[in-house]
């Protein structure tokens, strides 16, 4: 990424995965991170439990929100879902590239429709889930029925997302260079599978440290358990920021 980051710029590129069963548990972590200008990622576990009101509360406190609900349905339904989350004011959300170009384009139509009011929300960044990082080549080939390597599938999905007018993709840090080469430097990459040096791998397999992921050119790093499960989450995120600057 060229020039060194300031502390604030580094924090701006961290998305903390709030993988919690309810708002109370999430708020406890948010309180520990008070004042750090990171993003908050709300996934399906928390969103299904805590709902739009929780997201609105994050926005009121000035957080940028990645709503990680991975929409995948018929185009008309995804258009409606995209419309709703845009009106909610999320900054970034995602849809599955496996829904096809028509479904992804419908998501963009839903966004545009939500923005048509004079004082509406800002346009969210819309990204596609390519191939889940939990999918092995054997699962891809033998169960899902897609031939070739995982990286080939990821790149094909990334190109479809760009064709549909999306802004970027969720990808593993190992795929960033290929995605940017194929879809352009401004095509956004959001990368989970991040583990600071010396931390637990958990169930992630193809991991990189925050510094390594930035060196690949990724735009945002998603970090969950290395922060949320740390004895001192504040210290954990500060250490990650130190590593990034
Ligand atoms: O705790 P950990 O850092 O592994 O959390 C990673 C987060 O990123 C989780 O919320 C997980 O759902 C999400 N994610 C992922 N791999 C993807 C897409 C999302 O790990 N391909």
What is the pLDDT tens value at each position of the chain, 245 positions in all?
456 899 999 999 999 999 999 999 999 999 999 999 999 999 999 999 999 999 999 999 999 999 999 999 999 999 999 999 999 999 999 999 999 999 999 999 999 999 987 677 899 999 999 998 888 899 999 999 999 999 999 999 999 999 999 999 999 999 999 999 999 999 999 999 999 988 888 877 778 999 999 999 999 999 999 999 999 999 999 999 999 99
Residue tagged active-site, from 70, 79, 159, 180: 70
Mutate to test the pocket of ligand 1, among 14, 17, 226 (most ligand atoms within 8 A of CB): 17
Residue nearest to atom 5 of ligand 1 (CA): 224
Q: Which atom of ligand 1 is nearest to the CA of 132?
A: 21
Q: Which atom of ligand 1 is nearest to the CA of 204?
A: 4
Q: Is the CB of 149 under 6 A from ligand 1?
A: no
Instruction: Report the C-alpha gap between 137 and 146 in whole angstroms.
Output: 9
Whole-number Å distance, alpha carbon 193 to ligand 1 midpoint, is: 6
Residue nearest to atom 15 of ligand 1 (CA): 192
pTM of the model: 0.95
The pLDDT of residue 207 is 85
The pLDDT of residue 3 is 64
Whole-number Å distance, alpha carbon 125 to ligand 1 midpoint, is: 18
The pLDDT of residue 95 is 98
Q: Is the CB of 222 under 6 A from ligand 1?
A: yes
Residue nearest to atom 14 of ligand 1 (CA): 192
Instruction: Report the C-alpha gap between 221 and 228 in whole angstroms.
Output: 15
Residue nearest to atom 12 of ligand 1 (CA): 43
The pLDDT of residue 1 is 47
pLDDT, tens digit, for every residue of 69-90?
Answer: 999 999 999 999 999 999 999 9
Q: What angle do CA 120, 122, 127 make, to 5 degrees?
A: 130
Q: Which atom of ligand 1 is nearest to the CA of 203?
A: 4
Q: Is the CB of 204 under 6 A from ligand 1?
A: yes
Would you call 162 a catalytic residue per the annotation?
no
The pLDDT of residue 135 is 87
Q: Which atom of ligand 1 is nearest to the CA of 41?
A: 10
Q: Is the CB of 167 under 6 A from ligand 1?
A: no
């Amino acid at each position: 990424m060229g020039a060194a980051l300031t502390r604030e710029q580094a924090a701006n590129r961290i998305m903390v995965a709030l993988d919690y069963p309810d708002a109370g548990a999430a708020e406890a972590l948010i309180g520990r991170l008070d004042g750090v200008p990171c993003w908050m990622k709300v996934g399906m576990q928390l969103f299904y439990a805590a709902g739009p009101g929780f997201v609105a509360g994050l926005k009121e406190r000035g957080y940028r929100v990645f709503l990680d609900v991975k929409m995948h349905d018929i185009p008309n339904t995804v258009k409606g879902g995209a419309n709703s989350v845009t009106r909610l004011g999320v900054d970034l959300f995602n849809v599955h590239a496996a829904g096809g170009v028509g479904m992804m384009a419908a998501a963009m139509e839903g966004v545009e429709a939500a923005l048509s009011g004079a004082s509406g929300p800002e346009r969210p960044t819309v990204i596609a889930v390519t191939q889940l990082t939990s999918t092995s080549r054997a699962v891809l080939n033998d169960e899902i029925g897609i031939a070739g390597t995982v990286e080939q599938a990821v790149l094909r999905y990334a190109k479809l997302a760009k064709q549909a007018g999306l802004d970027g993709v969720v990808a593993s840090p190992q795929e960033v260079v290929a995605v940017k080469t194929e879809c352009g430097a401004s095509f956004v990459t959001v990368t989970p599978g991040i583990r600071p040096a010396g931390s637990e791998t958990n169930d992630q397999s193809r991991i990189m440290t925050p510094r390594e992921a930035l060196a690949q050119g990724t735009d945002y790093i998603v970090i969950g358990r290395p922060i949320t499960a740390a004895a001192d989450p504040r210290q954990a995120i500060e250490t990650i920021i130190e590593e990034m600057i």
